[in-house]
Structure 1
Amino acid sequence: MTRIVIAPDSFKGSLSAREAAQAIAAGVRAGWGAADADLVIDSFAFADGGEGTLDAVLDQWQVEPIRVKNTDAIGRPCEAQYAISADGQTALIEAAQANGLPAVSDVALRPLEATTAGVGTLALDALARGVHRIVLTLGGSATTDGGVGLLRALGARFFDAAGNTLPEGGGALQHLATVDLSGLDERALAAEWVAAVDVTNPLAGPQGAAAVFGPQKGANASDIRQLDAGLRRAAALLSADDTFGERPGLGAAGGLPLALVSVRAAELQPGAQLVAQIIGLDSSLARADLVFTGEGRLDAQSLDGKVIDYVTRTVDVGTPVIALAGSVELDAAAVRRSGLTAALSIAGGPATLDQLRDTAAQRLRETAAQAAALLRAGRGALIRTSDAA
């Protein structure tokens, strides 16, 4: 029996992770030989905790999304969705559904006012449905409020020195004087919280949330100073540990983990690792004879805790891993160092970006078929050589 595991990320702008996995699986069957009764394919839609994670988990859990009337990062009405596991115990919330940057890119960005309140609304809805564990994935945020908006939605209150309620957003945190957690929802306090982070940045300072990620959220130099000061202030009031703000990973999603770690001692996990646990990928990788993975663009960032990096670090030594990508921007030496057996571009010739997007599934399927046929031929040659010996 030959077990082939397929676990790609989404090809952003072209294919969801599920669509990519389906295309690769179809190609592998065609190239390997669909009639091969000894062929077993385990197919997973994978993600690293960023955009596309909710879709991957919905696909693996085989559940329908929960849709909630909500607000986006600047308080406008929107609809957001999340997932609840089939046993009703765990909620998977992709925070960007409520505080995501793409959802507010149609207007001038407001980095000082952007809030995570909508993420709290999703959590409250999940708690009302009886979940006991909330998993938050944090990529793609427009916010830098240290998760204060989320805590506010869960019942916490925040005041300035005059006793006035602090406005939403990270810009106001520099004036934070008092935190009242007495009204926090008891269900939130009783629940287990886990946050998927894909960066190791601390909360504040030169490598912190505001300095590193603030500019992409519209923050200028003055905004960054205010946001950084606010995050430091929030950390000082939410934790008695003077070094708390230096903890790696607290800078993810504009410091959103600050709220969860300080109030609920939430566990922080690398995004790809957490998603792999949720969808049950690791056990399949351990039994794989061959693995196909992929993403839209394979470059140096792909080797830093992303989907392809996770796959190569998790499979048993000696298991071939083939990466398929829209573009491969690593040379052969870098591919070898990454642990990949080979990295193949699905772009077969000159084409516009729109043409590549429109034909991505077909190109992915055909490239997977070619790779599978070559690998099976090589496997057959090895078997014949062994028999002859």
Structure 2
Amino acid sequence: MATFPSVLIAVDKFKGSLSGAGLSEAIAEGMKDELGRSFEPLICPIADGGDGTVEAALAAGFREIMAPVSGPLGEPVEAQFAYEGLSQTAVIEVAEACGLWRMDSQQLDAVNSTTFGVGELILAALDAGARHIVVGLGGSATTDAGAGMLQALGVKILDDDGEPLRAGGGALLGAARVDVSGLDNRLDSIDFTVACDVTNPLLGSSGAAAVFGPQKGATEEQVLLLDRSLKHFSNLLELDMGVSRETFSIQEGAGAAGGLGFACLALGAKMRPGVDICFELTGFHQVLEHADVVITGEGKLDEQTLQGKGPAGVANAARAQHKRTLAVCGSNELTAQRAEKAGFERVFAVLDMEYEGHQVTLAESLKTPSHYVKLLGAEIARYLRESPN
């Protein structure tokens, strides 16, 4: 009888229904239902640098720290970040402070929303003792080129009367001067890394306002206003920093998170693919060495998954180590041929399941997601038992 392979579960979240940890647990429980309670898979939650990055760090042993910060419209909110004392590393998600998830569709305000809370999170990380700060860009409701973040960190953005400028990207057109001399000097001695998977510059037709503004509620007129405002602000900031115009604004990733990428670059941040950073934080590659089969996945498996998202990164890493990779998802839009080419031996999708005489519906899957994922876990166990090598 063939030995059952060792299994690593390395999944991202099912957005809106199951966290990475919850998804991992449900798959493991389903496999145990089929194989017996003594079966113990390896578990290493993953993320791609966006939401879920802090959760993955916490699962890897970081501790949670809560901090009072400003929300996207300046309202007080409690935001979390992850911190590991031995390495003095903090992991921050910008969406915790200024994320779209903190607003309903009627509240979206790309012109007036601010990243001030992101700066407050960075200050909280510095206060905790961080010497290495990782910031995950993604899911922001803002388009202020990181001006709010910079203000929280000590940068002055002043109007014609020498008064501090009000919050929001739209107000930046009224800036007369930027003064970086008050920037928190602790930033000079930290290693600052940004998890970013977009290559957009700050300005123009491929920039922060044009590409991402509409999904944050910006009208066509507001997109034009924001693009002018970001250009004006970026020129003033680069002037005060003593660098050539467009030194930071034309760099790849400057337009990420409504231009937060630009401000991070100005602070000396290094931009890296989110998946690579998350794998380092969680020790994924070391855990992978002990597995024969990897189970990965996320809510929807589609072409976007293959453009640098977590499951694609897992499949590539597993293939490099000659490991088998299975995918779990809510819905699958990849053909079998496309999935196999991407490194997925087989895809197990909740919405492809037959349950009690009918195909599972989206509404059913969202109502009790763990139940259906457990059933998929059991199906995977049977599949591996029938084809262990």
Query: If the length of structure 1 is used for normalisation, what is the TM-score?
Result: 0.90
Q: Any unmatched runs of 5+ in structure 1?
A: 383-389
1:30 CA drift (Å): 4.1
**What is the one-letter code of the residue matched to 1:354?**
A
1:13 maps to 2:16 = yes
Give yes or no for the alignment of 1:50 onto 2:50: yes
Structure 1 residue 346 displacement after superposition? 2.0
Asked whether the 8 Å contact 1:120–1:150 carries over to 2, the reply is: yes
Output aligned runs, 1:170-189, within 5 Å: 170-189=169-188
Aligned residues: 375
Deviates more, 1:215-224 or 1:316-325: 316-325
- Post-superposition Cα deviations, 1:64-119, rounded to whole Å, max 9, x if no partner, equal x2122222111112211111114261111111111111212264322111110011
Deviation by residue 1:115-160 (Cα, 9 ceiling, x = unmatched): 1001111111121122111111111100111111111001110123
Greater shift after overlay, 112-121 or 307-316? 307-316
- Give 1:151-300 correspondences, 5 Å limit: 151-239=150-238, 240-244=243-247, 245-262=249-266, 264-300=267-303
Give 1:54's aligned amino acid: V
Amino acid at match of 1:223: Q
Within a 5 Å distance, the mapping from 1:301-340 to structure 2 comes to 301-317=304-320, 318-340=322-344
Of 23, 27, 34, which aligns to 1:24? Answer: 27
Q: Does structure 1 conserve the Cα–Cα contact (< 8 Å) formed by 2:350 and 2:360?
A: no
Shift of the alpha carbon at 1:268? Answer: 0.8
Task: Report the residue type matching 2:43 in the other structure.
Answer: S
How far has the Cα of 1:32 moved from its partner?
Answer: 4.8
Q: Deviations over 1:220-251 (max 9, x none)?
A: 11111121122222332333244432211111
Q: TM-score, normalised by structure 2?
A: 0.90
> Secondary structure, in 3 states, of the residue corresponding to 2:230?
helix
Mapping 1:371-386, distance limit 5 Å: 371-379=380-388
Partner SS, residue 61 of structure 1:
coil
The answer to whether the Cα contact below 8 Å between 1:286 and 1:315 also exists between their aligned partners in 2 is: no
Does the residue aligned with 2:17 lie in a helix, a strand or coil?
A: coil
1:154/1:353 CA distance change after superposition, 3 Å: same
Contact kept, 8 Å, 2:32 with 2:378, in 1: the verdict is yes
Structure 2 CA distance, aligned partners of 1:287 and 1:202?
40
* Unaligned residue ranges in structure 2 (runs of 5+): none
Q: Using a 3 Å threshold, how does the CA distance of structure 1 residues 286 and 232 change in structure 2: closer, same or farther?
A: farther
Tell me how far 1:33 sits from its aligned partner: 5.4
SS of 2:129's partner is: coil
> Which range moves more in the overlay, 44-53 or 150-159?
44-53
Matches within 5 A, 1:89-128: 89-105=88-104, 107-128=106-127
CA distance in 1, matches of 2:273, 2:176: 33
Q: In structure 2, do the counterparts of structure 1 residues 282 and 237 end up closer, same or farther at CA, with 3 Å as the change threshold?
A: farther
- How far apart are the structure 1 equivalents of 2:29 and 2:117? 39
CA offsets per residue over residues 320-347 of structure 1, 9 Å max, x none?
Answer: 1110111111111211221211111123
What is the aligned-residue RMSD (CA, Å)? 2.0
Distance of 2:108 and 2:273 partners within structure 1: 28
SS at match of 1:227: helix
Is the CA contact (8 Å cut-off) linking 1:31 and 1:371 kept in structure 2?
no
207-216 vs 337-346, which moves further: 337-346
